[in-house]
Structure 1
């Protein structure tokens, strides 16, 4: 056998050996990384246990979600014809983006379940929204829109507000909606941090205290882009609920905490924006009445802040 052939054979053997060793190294490194993460998670759980902080049952396994990019939807006449029942309501669309409805006869309800039934029959695409809260001070029920079956938190471009009078009767509602996803946007799936690491972020920010109970950890979408942006990018987000009342939002890919929103401020800002848009509806007595009701809600909110 010629020396050049022997040399080539040795080189190929060494290349195969190098590839094998590299694969072994990376597999071992990956295992070490997983072991370290499991040790860290175990340490976090132990620390929370020492603080008597109760954890909920959390999702198992590896989770993946993508960023999404959305513009606000413009409502069309065909959208209005898709509403199941319009006999008892007068509907208008303001500046293409805001749908406003006033009921001729207010609809009495006792609880959020009855409100859901009203929504199902009287709102465009009711299954696109999920119940969030009933602000008893302002008597407004808040629904957030869903995208890819996940709620979009605190965004007034995907929001359904149901307004009630002092008799707990639904008198009107306003609706905005986020449109289809931007297909040119990179929406590849990315691994999410585990919820225990999101909880650890809260603990390190001194947002968790001895004896508290974390009641849920769920994934949704959140953005910090200005509401005025024409197109917004939404990040997968862990919503961590404490004691069934306080909600915190942690970026589910990068792990940092978003600034904390609260219902009162968000609702006040949303109502103010809706009122501003409704001024474009001129000469309509019904919608002037809605503006008056919005003024009353804002005045109630102002008094509550001053007290």
Structure 2
């Protein structure tokens, strides 16, 4: 018997066994660590990942209803009679109005929301039924949206189509607003109130699916309505948590936790 060869075989066998046992131990420790992290309260997981949210959680009612909305045609009586605006008949339609301002509104980029809001309330038809939704400094656009029961109608601001229930302003390179577009929704309550998830669970859903990264700051959390389905000309809207961060804008269905829309292109919200 070649004892030198046998000794070498034993050493290699023990070495392979040690490597295997070490690997098994590593896998077990990793599994235990993953299980430990999963067992941590969501608040602790967010804290460990430096995700700041605590000042942004709003009060809300635990039960909400679905609503339906239909783009309402404007009648002659609905046309804006303000002396500050003029209807562009060539660009307008029965359910979308396009106005130009007789005198351009001077705005500053840093304060454009407040400046346009004041004009909206005073000079736009039913302007007090719209509230600020989003500002995009790249396209120089400010959107205002209708609300139902104090909650805004949410929409994709990058959509090519003009959503219902919205007023949209543009300002130019010289800081002037020269016109706006307007649509309106007739809104109706649908069904009976049902339980919705909390804003904390909406944030947790985004975190666990990888949409919130380490150190991400949450800027705004708001309950609104987002279009779930389109039945002919009628939109069905479901209670939805709008979560805006430094890196994106996410919409989480408040009834089933599904993520309805993801916008990570860095729009600036004010």
The TM-score bracket by the shorter chain reads 0.7 to 0.9
2:226 aligned residue (212, 215, 222): 222
For structure 2, the residue ranges without an aligned partner over 5 or more in a row are: 1-37, 157-162
Q: Which residue number corresponds to residue 17 of structure 2?
A: none
CA contact (8 A) 1:100 1:173 kept: yes
How is 1:11-22 mapped onto 2 (pairs within 5 angstroms)?
none
Q: How far apart, in 2, do the equivalents of 1:105 and 1:171 lie? A: 7
Residues 87-96 or 128-137, more deviating: 87-96
Q: Which residue number corresponds to residue 77 of structure 1?
A: 76
Q: How far apart, in 1, do the equivalents of 2:100 and 2:226 lie? A: 30
CA contact (8 A) 1:56 1:216 kept: no
How is 1:252-267 mapped onto 2 (pairs within 5 angstroms)?
252-261=254-263
1:113-156 Cα offsets, whole Å, 9 max, x none, are 11111112221111221112332222221112212221111161
Deviation for aligned residue 1:263: 7.9
Q: Which residue number corresponds to residue 246 of structure 1?
A: 248
Q: Which residue number corresponds to residue 3 of structure 1?
A: none
Length, aligned pairs only:
218
CA contact (8 A) 1:41 1:197 kept: no
1:175 aligned residue (182, 207, 214): 182
CA contact (8 A) 1:41 1:196 kept: no
Q: Which residue number corresponds to residue 203 of structure 1?
A: 207
Given the alignment of the two structures, is residue 100 of structure 1 paired with residue 98 of structure 2, yes or no? yes
Q: How far apart, in 1, do the equivalents of 2:134 and 2:209 lie? A: 26
Q: Which residue number corresponds to residue 54 of structure 2?
A: 56
Question: Residues 237 and 72 (structure 1 numbering): CA distance in 2 closer, same or farther, change over 3 Å?
Answer: same
Give the TM-score normalised by structure 1.
Answer: 0.64
Given the alignment of the two structures, is residue 237 of structure 1 paired with residue 244 of structure 2, yes or no? no
Question: Residues 177 and 263 (structure 1 numbering): CA distance in 2 closer, same or farther, change over 3 Å?
Answer: farther
Residues 162-171 or 60-69, more deviating: 60-69
Q: Which residue number corresponds to residue 87 of structure 1?
A: 83
1:14-66 Cα offsets, whole Å, 9 max, x none, are xxxxxxxxxxxxxxxxxxxxxxxxxx997111211221222224246762211
Higher helix share: 1
